[in-house]
């Protein structure tokens, strides 16, 4: 993959919160570099606190990293790029006082879409996520899974080349996650967008991603990038295949030590350390 | 969203404090200028220095004592009545969910209107003396106490009761060791509200129709246009109210912690 | 329940409001009996007589005008309190530094026993409508400021982040995110503000015993006329209940999306 084609270029990004010597000082990211090709779905996976959400926010222009640079579609990122990047967050970021369709149309209002186009695009987006019948519902009247579908519809309606998704299914139960993951794969095969997807779930990463970037424990940096060579849309049978299991095991191997390190960092592992004896 | 370091936040807090102090200082300075230099009628706005001198005089001479005794006496009596009545009735109502559904909205609806409206009735019945103030104060402060007692006892987690009963707790044990501690925070909050509202209504009814007490004193000074002294008493009453409220809030916090 | 419940009890059991009406009827009945047979008619009048004599209250010269004036004062004070409260609430709530500096001052003033300065208001603004309106505004404005600030404050940060990521301008964020989020709190504030305005205006009216409602309450009290006094106070109480109900209805309507 030629670097010239990369939709997202991350170079030497580090970030820290607070200042040295303060109690809240935390080095979240350390010298991270990454290329995401156009049309690729890149998963970021790693233990808690490894900085994957921080990196996502930096790519999306929601925050300035302490050092390093990010380029998106050839432009340097210094702030939000609403025409190029749309977000889907883990927490419901739908405005509770608006109906689903009002939420979607409002997103387009912010982006600057002409009034005449909004209704049409909103309808299409709802259709794509299967929420056509719930256009006039309020978010409070929907289940968690449906709310995230609505959030996805809003992001899709903005017709940005890049989609950044921060554990969008994290708050949902496993069965809903499975279904939404399959639907997402179908959707994305059709639209050809570039996606960066943060997740905790190994299975989700292997199922959805073209490549998976595995993060180390804090201060996070990319340990290794694994490729998943399987065409989109991914079939449900893929999950039970040998290739899937092998990739998942590979991820597990890479992550396990990092997760242990994170647990020790947070002091919870002291008892386990004692039980385990010398490493 | 920029993250602020601790140093920046401490500077910010200091800056807010400075603005507050500056604001208060500006008010006093403007007051002084208005009263002395800008020719605002001294019959409307007294010189702040004169107000201060009067305040010192009132405190030193003990002139406030009689009025303070009347007001505090009325407050104590009214609060005693409303606490006894409110907690008892609140507890009785809380024993039945049906009773709660009947009485709670009724109390809330009555409390929503300014009950001070009925002061002339109390004055007609009890006269201009302390009795009418005590009656009105008790009547008004009854409601937040009763409502909070109902809520406090009424929303005790059923599982506590079940657990206690399964260990053989008697009615008395249940009341003393389960219901009361569980309901206490909400009830204390209601008592604090009742106290605040009783104080307000007593000062208010002394202002409207009385022969003694702090509220009456202020009215009396207004009628004889003794502006500086009246302002001094206003400051005094506000201070007393603030102290009493702080004490009561502190007691509530102490009660909640236990 | 051991014995089978009678149909009356079963009817009531499903309708607490009916039981409430019974309680009210019982209390009114008690009042009627006490006033008729126990208490000296100089001090208390039975509800039957009060209602029957309502006409004479309105016929008393000056009473309808005083009631109208009070209603006018309430309306003006409420509108002013809402307008000033909304503007000040937004001014304090939107900017974190302004909020940190001035909100404690607002709370301090809110907790002050304003009735101590009632005589001052009358001295400053006279015995006419102006002082009543002013006193009503000072009572009504604080809960509105406080609730507007709270409504702006407790906006979930993720909603602001989301709007920013979609390219919303500062004005758009205010108009489409902050303002609609604040509306239910604002209406709660209006309900509390109405209670405050009622208290302030009525306190001021009752204080001024040489004009307005205060003149008639003083008159009826001094003449030992509990019938007319109860009638007048009853009308005022009904006014207060009606105004409260209207604002409460508006609050429920605009807080629809909160219910979920």
Q: Provide the domain limits for residue A263.
A: 3-84+160-276
B114 interaction partners in chain C (CB closer than 8 Å): 195, 198-199, 202-203, 240
Which range of A70-74, A168-172, B77-81, B182-186 scores highest in mean pLDDT? It is B77-81
* A224 beta partners: A214
- The nearest CA of chain A is from the CA of C159 a distance in Å of 5
Query: Which chain C positions have a beta carbon within 8 Å of B13's beta carbon?
Result: 100
C221-to-B10, C30, C70, C225, C227 alpha-carbon distances in Å: 59, 23, 19, 6, 10
Contacts for A176 with CB less than 8 Å, ≥ 6 apart: A143, A144, A145, A169
Which CATH number fits the domain B60-257, given the four candidates 3.40.50.11240, 3.40.50.2300, 3.40.50.300, 1.10.3720.10?
1.10.3720.10
3-state DSSP assignment of residue C169: coil
At residue A18, the pLDDT reads 78
**Which of C44, C113, C230 is facing B238, going by the closest CB pair?**
C113
Q: Is 50 exceeded by the pLDDT of residue B2?
A: no
Rounded Cα distance between A269 and A260, Å, is 8
Residue B8 C-alpha, separation from nearest chain A C-alpha, in angstroms: 11
Does residue A139 belong to any structural domain of this protein?
no
| Residue ranges in chain C modelled with pLDDT below 50 | 1, 259-260
Angle between helices B64-94 and B214-223 (to 10 degrees): 130
For testing contact with chain A, the best of C156, C161, C163, C166 (most A CBs within 10 A): C166
Closest-CA residue to C178 (of C210, C156, C194): C156
User: What tokens appear for C150 in the block?
Assistant: 């709270």
A190: pLDDT strictly greater than 90: no
Q: What part of B 60-79 touches C (C-beta under 8 Å)?
A: none
Report pLDDT digits (tens) over A91-104.
779 999 999 999 99
- Distance from chain centroid for Cα C29: 28
A197 in a structural domain: yes
Q: Which residues contact B209 (CB under 8 A, 6 or more apart)?
A: B119, B120, B123, B128, B132
pLDDT of residue C82: 97
Residue A43 within any structural domain of the chain? yes
Kindly report, residue by residue over B170-189, the tens digit of the pLDDT: 888 888 888 888 899 999 99
Segment A256-276 shows an average pLDDT of 67
Can you give the pTM of this predicted structure? Answer: 0.84
Cα distances (angstroms) measured from residue C34 to each of B215, C31, C220: 33, 5, 21
Query: How far apart (Å, rounded) are the C-alpha atoms in residues B181 and B111?
Result: 26
Q: Are C41 and C226 in contact (CB under 8 A)?
A: yes
Whether A238 is in a domain gets the answer yes
Report chain B residues whose CB lies below 8 A from the CB of A17: 3
Q: Is the pLDDT of residue A80 over 70?
A: yes
Is 60 exceeded by the pLDDT of residue A125? yes
Q: Tens of pLDDT along C168-181?
A: 999 999 999 999 99
Q: Domain with A187 in it: what CATH number?
A: 3.40.50.300
Q: Give the separation between CA A35 and CA A32, rounded to whole angstroms.
A: 10
Sole residue written with tokens 């009025």: B67
Looking at residue A170, its pLDDT comes to 87
Q: Assign A81 to helix, strand or coil.
A: coil
Answer yes or no: do C116 and B238 touch at CB < 8 A. Answer: yes
Q: What is the pLDDT of residue B254?
A: 87
Predicted local confidence at residue A217, as pLDDT: 84
Instruction: Specify the pLDDT at position A272.
Output: 53
Determine the average pLDDT of the residues in A166-193. Answer: 87
Per-residue pLDDT, averaged over A119-131, amounts to 91
- Token pair, residue A225, equals 């990038």
Residue A218 lies inside a defined structural domain of this protein? yes
Residues of A near C (CB-CB distance < 8 A)?
60-62, 80, 82-83, 85-87, 89, 91, 93, 95-98, 106-107, 109-112, 138-141, 158
Secondary structure of residue A227 in the 3-state scheme: strand
Query: How many residues in total does chain A contain?
Result: 279
Give B 144-183 residues with CB within 8 A of chain C.
none
Confidence band of B257 (pLDDT split at 50, 70, 90): confident
Measure the CA angle with vertex A57, ends A51 and A61; round to 5°: 145
**Minimal Cα–Cα distance from A172 to chain B, Å?**
28
What's the rounded Cα separation, in Å, for the pair A204 and A239?
10
**pLDDT tens profile B189-236:** 999 999 999 999 999 999 999 999 999 999 999 999 999 999 999 999
Tallying the residues shown for chain B, one arrives at: 258
pLDDT of residue A173: 87
Q: Flag whether pLDDT at B1 surpasses 50.
A: no
Tokens 């005590």 — which residue?
B134
Most confidently modeled range among A104-108, B159-163, C247-251: A104-108
Give the closest residue to B137 by CA, choosing from B104, B115, B108.
B115
Query: Which residue from B58, B234, B74 is spatially nearest to B139, judged by alpha carbons?
Result: B74
Residue A267 lies in a domain: yes
- Owner of token pair 């209940």: C241
The confidence score (pLDDT) of residue A157 equals 93
Shortest CB distance from C117 goes to which of B112, B117, B234?
B234
Mean residue pLDDT of chain A comes to 87
Tokens, residue C145? 């400021």
Q: Does position A35 have pLDDT exceeding 80, yes or no?
A: yes
Lowest-confidence segment of A174-183, B146-155, C185-194 by average pLDDT: A174-183
**Do A110 and A99 touch, CB atoms closer than 8 A?**
no
Percent of chain A with pLDDT over 70: 93
Task: Decide: A46 and A216 in contact? Cβ < 8 Å.
Answer: yes
Does residue A115 sit within a domain? no
With contact defined as 3+ CB pairs under 8 Å, the chains touching B are A, C
Number of domains in chain A: 1
Instruction: Tell me the pLDDT of chain B averaged across its residues.
Output: 90
Whether residue C95 lies within 8 A of chain A, CB to CB, comes out as: no
Q: 3-state SS string over chain B?
A: CCCCCHHHHHHHHHHHHHHHHHHHHHHHHHHHHHHHCCCCCCCCCCCHHHHHHHHHHHHHHCCHHHHHHHHHHHHHHHHHHHHHHHHHHHHHHHCCHHHHHHHHHHHHHHHHCCHHHHHHHHHHHHCCCHHHHHHHHHHHHHHHHHHHHHHHHHCCCHHHHHHHHHCCCCHHHHHHHHHHHHHHHHHHHHHHHHHHHHHHHHHHHHHHCCCCCHHHHHHHHHHCCCHHHHHHHHHHHHHHHHHHHHHHHHHHHHHHHC
- Residue C200 DSSP symbol: H
Query: Using an 8 Å Cβ cutoff, are A70 and A13 in contact?
Result: yes
Residue boundaries of the structural domains of chain B: 1-40, 60-257
Residues facing residue A42 across a β-bridge? A196, A211
Over the stretch A200-258, which tens digit does the pLDDT of each residue have? 889 999 999 999 999 988 888 888 999 998 888 888 889 899 999 999 999 999 888 88
Residues C198 and C190: beta-carbon distance below 8 Å: no
3-state secondary structure of A77: coil
């Amino acid at each position: 993959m030629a670097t010239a084609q990369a939709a997202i270029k991350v170079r030497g990004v580090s970030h820290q919160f607070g200042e040295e010597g303060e109690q809240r000082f935390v080095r979240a990211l350390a010298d991270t570099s990454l290329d995401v090709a156009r049309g690729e779905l890149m998963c970021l996976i790693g233990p808690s606190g490894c900085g994957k959400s921080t990196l996502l926010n930096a790519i999306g222009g929601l925050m300035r990293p302490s050092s390093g640079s990010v380029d998106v579609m050839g432009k340097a990122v210094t702030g939000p790029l609403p025409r190029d990047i749309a977000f889907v967050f883990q927490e419901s970021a739908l405005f509770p006082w608006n109906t689903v369709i009002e939420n979607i149309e409002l997103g387009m209002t912010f982006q600057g879409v002409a009034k005449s186009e909004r209704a049409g695009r909103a309808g299409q987006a709802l259709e794509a996520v299967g929420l056509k019948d719930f256009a006039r519902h309020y978010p409070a009247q929907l289940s968690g899974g449906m709310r995230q579908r609505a959030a996805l519809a809003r992001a899709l309606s903005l017709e940005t080349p890049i989609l950044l998704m921060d554990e969008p299914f994290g708050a949902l139960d496993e069965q809903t996650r499975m279904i939404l993951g399959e639907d997402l794969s179908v959707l994305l095969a059709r639209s050809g967008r570039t996606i960066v997807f943060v997740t905790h779930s190994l299975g989700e990463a292997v199922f959805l991603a073209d490549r998976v970037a595995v993060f180390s424990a804090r201060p996070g940096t990319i340990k290794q990038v694994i490729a998943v060579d399987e065409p989109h849309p991914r079939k449900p049978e893929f999950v039970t295949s040998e290739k899937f299991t092998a990739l998942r095991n590979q991820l597990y191997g890479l992550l396990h030590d990092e997760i242990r390190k994170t647990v020790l960092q947070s002091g919870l592992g002291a008892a386990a350390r004692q039980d385990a004896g010398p490493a | 969203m920029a993250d602020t370091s601790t140093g920046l936040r401490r500077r910010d807090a200091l800056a807010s404090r400075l603005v507050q102090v500056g604001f208060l200082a500006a008010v006093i300075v403007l007051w002084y200028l208005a009263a002395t230099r800008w020719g605002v009628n001294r019959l409307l706005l007294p010189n702040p220095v004169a107000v201060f001198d009067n305040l010192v005089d009132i405190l030193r001479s003990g002139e406030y004592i009689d009025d303070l005794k009347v007001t505090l006496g009325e407050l104590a009596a009214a609060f005693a009545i409303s606490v006894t009545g409110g907690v008892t009735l609140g507890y009785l109502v809380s024993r039945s969910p049906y009773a709660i559904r009947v009485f709670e909205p009724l109390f809330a609806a009555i409390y929503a209107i300014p009950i001070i409206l009925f002061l002339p009735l109390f004055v007609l019945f009890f006269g201009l003396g302390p009795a009418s103030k005590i009656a009105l104060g008790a009547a008004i402060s009854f409601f937040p106490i009763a409502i909070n007692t109902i809520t406090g006892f009424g929303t005790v987690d059923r599982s506590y009761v079940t657990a206690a009963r399964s260990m053989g707790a008697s009615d008395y044990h249940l009341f003393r060791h389960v219901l009361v501690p569980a309901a206490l925070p909400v009830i204390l909050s209601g008592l604090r509200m009742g106290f605040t509202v009783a104080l307000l209504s007593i000062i208010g009814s002394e202002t409207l129709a009385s022969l003694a007490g702090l509220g009456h004193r202020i009215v009396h000074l207004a009628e004889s246009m003794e502006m500086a002294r009246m302002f001094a008493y206003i400051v005094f009453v506000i201070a007393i109210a603030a102290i009493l409220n702080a004490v009561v809030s502190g007691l509530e916090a102490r009660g909640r912690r236990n | 329940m051991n014995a089978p419940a009678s149909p009356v009890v079963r009817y009531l059991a499903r309708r607490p409001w009916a039981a409430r009406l019974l309680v009210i009827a019982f209390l009114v009945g008690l009042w009627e009996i006490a006033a008729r047979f126990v208490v000296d008619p100089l001090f208390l009048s039975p509800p039957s007589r009060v209602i029957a004599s309502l006409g004479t209250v309105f016929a008393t010269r000056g009473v309808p005008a005083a009631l109208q004036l009070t209603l006018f004062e309430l309306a003006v004070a409420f509108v002013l309190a809402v307008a000033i409260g909304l503007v000040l609430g937004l001014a304090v709530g939107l900017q974190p530094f302004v909020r940190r500096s001035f909100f404690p001052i607002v709370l301090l003033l809110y907790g002050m026993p304003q009735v101590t300065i009632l005589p001052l208001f009358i001295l400053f603004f006279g015995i006419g409508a102006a002082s009543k309106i002013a006193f009503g505004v000072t009572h009504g404005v604080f809960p509105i400021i406080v609730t507007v600030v709270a409504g702006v404050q407790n906006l979930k940060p993720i909603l602001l982040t989301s709007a920013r990521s979609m390219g919303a301008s500062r004005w758009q964020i205010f108009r489409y995110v902050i303002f609609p989020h604040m509306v239910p709190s604002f209406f709660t504030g209006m309900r509390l503000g109405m209670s405050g305005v009622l208290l302030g205006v009525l306190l001021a009216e009752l204080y001024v015993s040489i004009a307005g409602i205060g003149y008639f309450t003083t008159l009826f009290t001094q003449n030992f006329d509990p019938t007319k006094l109860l009638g007048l106070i009853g009308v005022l109480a009904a006014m207060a209940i009606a105004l409260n109900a209207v604002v409460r209805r508006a609050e429920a309507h605009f807080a629809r999306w909160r219910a979920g």
